[in-house]
Amino acid sequence: MTASGPSGDELVEMLAALAHPIRLRIVATLAGGRDYVSRLARELGVSRPLLHMHLRRLEVAGLVVGRLELSEDGKAMKYYDVTDFSLHLTASAVAEAAKTLTKQDPEKGPRPKEHT
Amino acid sequence: MTASGPSGDELVEMLAALAHPIRLRIVATLAGGRDYVSRLARELGVSRPLLHMHLRRLEVAGLVVGRLELSEDGKAMKYYDVTDFSLHLTASAVAEAAKTLTKQDPEKGPRPKEHT
DNA sequence: TCTACGTGTAAGTAGTTTCTGACACGTGTC
DNA sequence: GACACGTGTCAGAAACTACTTACACGTAGA
Residue B60: give its domain's CATH number: 1.10.10.10
Q: Is A48 on the interface with B (CB under 8 A)?
A: no
B107 occurs within a structural domain: no
Q: Which amino acid is at B104?
A: Q
Measure the CA–CA gap between A36 and A54, rounded to whole angstroms: 14
B53 occurs within a structural domain: yes
pLDDT in tens, A57-68: 999 999 999 999
- B4 pLDDT band (50/70/90 cuts)? confident
Out of A10-19, A55-64, B5-14, B57-66, least confident range: B5-14
B61 occurs within a structural domain: yes
DSSP, res B20: S
Cα A99–chain centre separation = 20
Q: How many domains does chain A have?
A: 1
B77 touches strand D (CB under 7 A): yes
Measure the CA–CA gap between B95 and A27, rounded to whole angstroms: 7
- On average, the pLDDT of chain A sits at 88
pLDDT in tens, A9-25: 999 999 999 999 999 99
Which residue range is the domain that position A76 belongs to? 8-98
Q: At residue B90, what are phi and psi to the nearest 5 degrees?
A: -135, 170
Higher pLDDT, B10 or A108: B10
Q: Is A58 on the interface with B (CB under 8 A)?
A: no
What is the percentage of chain A residues whose pLDDT exceeds 70? 85
Nearest to B20 among A12, A24, A32 (CB): A12
- A84 pLDDT band (50/70/90 cuts)? very high
DSSP per-residue codes, A28-78 = HHHHT--EEHHHHHHHHT--HHHHHHHHHHHHHTTSEEEEEEE-TTS-EEE
A113 occurs within a structural domain: no
Q: Is A98 on the interface with B (CB under 8 A)?
A: yes
Note whether A21 contacts B12, CB cutoff 8 Å. yes
- A72 pLDDT band (50/70/90 cuts)? confident
Report the pLDDT value the prediction gives residue A112, as an integer from 0 to 100: 34
What is the percentage of chain B residues whose pLDDT exceeds 90? 76
Considering only CB atoms, which chain B residues are within 8 Å of A103?
A: 21
What distance in Å separates residue B76's CA from the closest CA in chain A? 18
Measure the CA–CA gap between A53 and B39, rounded to whole angstroms: 40
B79 occurs within a structural domain: yes
Measure the CA–CA gap between B31 and A95, rounded to whole angstroms: 7
CB neighbour list of residue A25: distance below 8 Å, 6 or more residues apart: A44, B98, B101
Question: Do residues B45 and A37 make contact, with C-beta atoms less than 8 angstroms apart?
Answer: no
Measure the CA–CA gap between A96 and B32, rounded to whole angstroms: 11
B104 occurs within a structural domain: no
A106 occurs within a structural domain: no
B108 occurs within a structural domain: no
